[in-house]
Each structure stands twice: as C-alpha cells, then as structure tokens.
Amino acid sequence: MSEEGNRAQTLPLDCSSKEALFRKNHPLILELKEIPEIRFDDSEVIGLGDILSLKELFLKQNMDYYHVDCLILYKIARNMARIQQKLAGIHICPGLYALEDVYVNLKDTAYPLYLLHPERFQLMEFEQDYEWYPEDERIFGDLVLFDRKAQALADQRFLYKIMVASSKGNVRIPPKASTRDYSGLFYGTMPAAWKEVFEGGRLLPLSEWERRLTEAIEMEERYDQQSRDRSPGEYTERPSEAEEILSGKKTVLALFVILRGERANSLEMSRLLYETQDLLELEQEHGHFRLIQGFVHGDGVVRQKDLDEYPIGFRLQIPHQIREYSKVEALLIGCEWMMDLCRDITREGVDCQCRLYVLSDGRIENNNVYKACLDKISRLMEEKVRVELILGRDSQCEGWDHLKRIIGEE
C-alpha cells in the first residue's frame, strides 16, 4: 500500500472534524508542527511590528509605505511555493489559503512567511469550511473535497494572487482594472511566459515555479546591483570631452530622464519628449545658444544616449516594446550624471545652463531609490539646475507631490 494510503488508515474513524485531530495530537498534526513556517499560536506573530498579513500588505497604502516591488513579491511567492512543497511532501491538502492567514516578515529582506490557524486546513478527507471569494467560488465551489489536482490548482492560484498583489483575493486572469490595488500594474510586469501559463489554465509543478521565481529574483537583483555598481564615469563624458563640448558660446545642457511606465506602445512617451524638444528648439532660435542633449531611460536595464549637439529636428527613437517596466533607477542615474556635469562646469568655468527634464507616462514605483532621488534633485536645484517635471495623463505616484513641491510646481 502507498505511503498516503497507510497514512489515511491511521485516521481514527470517530474523528469527524479537524478540531478532534488537534485535540488528540494526531500524527498529521505532529508533522505539521515540524514545519517552522506553521504557527499554532497567534501571539507568536500578531502584534509584532512590520509583520503583516498578505491581505494587509497588498492594500495600496501599505504597498507604498513598504515600497513593495516585483522583487519583493517574487521572494514572497517563492517562499510560499517552498511551504506548499513541504505540505505536499507530507501528503496534506490545505485547500485554499486565505490571505489574512499568511503573514510576511518585512523586517527580513528574505521575507519569510508564516501560516496561521492550521486547524482551518482541509486535512485529508475532512470537511472544508471556507468563505470563498467569488472568483474562487467559480473555480472551486463545486468541489466536495480537495484532491491532488484541485490542490495543485489552489497552490498555483495563490502564487498568482501574490505575484499580482491582490488585496481582495478575488483577482481574475488577467485582472480587471481597479483603483483599489496594483494588480493590473504587477500583472503587466509579469514575464510573458508566466502570463501564458495563467491565461491558458496550465498547471506547473511547484518545483518548476520555485525555479522560475528564483531566476526572476536573480535577474531583478542583478539589474539592481548593476545600477548601484556603475560608476558615474560610465554615464558622463571624459573630462577632456566634457571640456570640448562645453567650450565656446553660451550653452544649454538638457538631460532628459525618461521614466517610461507603459509597455504597450511608445506614443504617449514620444509625444511628451517631442513637444519638449520643439519648445527647446524654439527657445534656442531666439536665445542663440548651443543646445546639448543627453538621454537616460530604462527598458529592463538603465540605458543612456551620450551628450551631443544633435542637429535641429533630432528626435530620440523610443522602442515600441520594452522588456520590463522602466526602473526609477534611471532617475537616480540621471541625477548623478547631472551632478558630475555640474562639477565639471564649475571646474572649467564655462557659461552653461543645466536643465533636468523628468518625463513619465505611467505609474512609477515610490520606493527608497525614488526618495533618494528627491534629495539629489534638491541638491541639484541648489546648484542652479533647472528641473522640470513633465507627466502624461495617466502618471501616478504619490512621490510626484513631493517632487512638485521641491521644484515649485503646482
């Protein structure tokens, strides 16, 4: 007889509820207690600072406060996949997890998870006692008991809820547009291959999800590290070249930081950029100055087009598709680049006016890097750098209000 069959025979016939299993300290419960992520006492978790249930974390105000991005969500999802594999390894079908019963420790950058109230698990063939979300009711409502296939579907659905940060737990595939959470935004950042899995209703083994999530985490961490490790010299001209560019008659040095947020097309971003360049060329015609332009933008990694005196009518070509949402690191790189240019200008004593144009066409993550940029922009303005914020119709970020106050815009 299989191991699972042997375990099923150990269940006392007179136990008609899960509560009875807990009272009698059944072998299944003993095995549950060996999983460190399972917590039987609420006081071990609830009440501690920076430990929130996923339901609380995925509320918009908490997502902004804790600066939750894709990297954090993928780490949470990977930890959940590992817990799910442990439960499957001891032949337990928990049924459908409730967001309010899964807690994450935000003090730890590994974001460990804790599952509370294990008595609510559907252990083997015992009854289910869930309050279904409507969408879960549509998928699972006709089930009497969870079998292995149903559990695999429930496991994958919960990973999906984590990766799109659905605070209501009722998220569809793909999610409907909502102002209550960021599920649509995070779904947009999801790799295309993952979307195909979810939209096609395919089931992947938990080990495969752990592998994919690990690869995504490593890639995101590599991008972040590359942005931090790059020295300012990689984004500025060499001193001799800077001296050559800034020599001669009065110069306006315009650096465009393109924080592109929409993946579908480049029309809105192009409109913002081209209208700004049109105004600059009109000003150049009447002001009789040299116009030096540079560009920093993100398309999965931070990219740059060097400073140059481009011919009249030059317009930067913006790709129609980008691999990822633009990173706010592009703004950090732009600020550091401009600070180095200001030092060169001061050292060379040239007649130059510096301008920083920040362009955005969509949602920008309001994270720690963004807050660091606000400080750098304040310092740039102390150096007489003119900073302009140019937003598209759908631009959203609570940090923009802070930036507007810094640069004195309404």
356 against 329, higher pLDDT: 356
Report whether 226 contacts 301 (CB < 8 A).
yes
Residue 16 pLDDT: 47
Per the structure block, which two tokens stand in for 16? Answer: 């008609």
Residue-averaged pLDDT of the chain: 76
Residue in this structure with the two tokens 């698990």, named with its chain if needed: 121
> Out of 2.60.120, 3.30.530, 3.40.50, 3.90.550, which CATH number does the structure's domain 232-407 have?
3.40.50
d(CA 314, CA 300): 25
- pLDDT for position 239: 42
Q: In Å, what is the CA distance from 273 to each residue of 18, 268, 340, 358? A: 62, 9, 24, 10
Q: Which two tokens stand for residue 44?
A: 């071990």
- C-alpha dihedral sign at 303, 308, 309, 310: negative
Residue 253 pLDDT: 92
The pLDDT confidence band at residue 179, using thresholds 50, 70 and 90, is low
Between 337 and 240, the higher pLDDT residue: 337
99-134 per-position pLDDT tens digit: 888 889 888 888 989 887 666 665 544 444 444 556
What's the CA gap between 258 and 264, in Å, rounded? Answer: 16
Give the whole-angstrom CA distance, residue 352 versus residue 383.
12
Q: Is pLDDT at 294 greater than 80 in this prediction?
A: yes
CB atoms closer than 10 angstroms to residue 301: 14
Q: Which of 73, 60, 74 is nearest to 363 (CA)?
A: 60
Check if 3-225 and 232-407 are the same fold. no
Q: Can you list the alpha helix ranges (DSSP code H) found in 24-131?
A: 27-33, 54-57, 60-65, 70-89
Q: What is the DSSP letter of 363?
A: B
Which of 2-11, 88-97, 225-234 is predicted with the least confidence, judged by mean pLDDT?
A: 2-11
Does residue 400 carry a pLDDT above 90? no
Q: Return the pLDDT at 48.
A: 63
* 373 three-class SS: helix
Q: Which of 291, 295, 380 is nearest to 330 (CA)?
A: 295
**Domain ranges across the chain:** 3-225, 232-407
- Length reported for the chain: 410
Q: Is the pLDDT of residue 364 over 60?
A: yes
CATH of 3-225, one of 1.10.510, 3.30.70, 1.10.357, 1.20.140: 1.10.510
In 44-195, beta strands by DSSP E: 51-53, 102-105, 113-116
Least confident of 124-128, 310-314, 391-395, 396-400: 124-128
Rounded Cα distance, 101 and 243, in Å:
61
DSSP string, 192-237: HHHHHHHHHT----HHHHHHHHHHHHHHHHHHHHHHHHS-GGGTS-
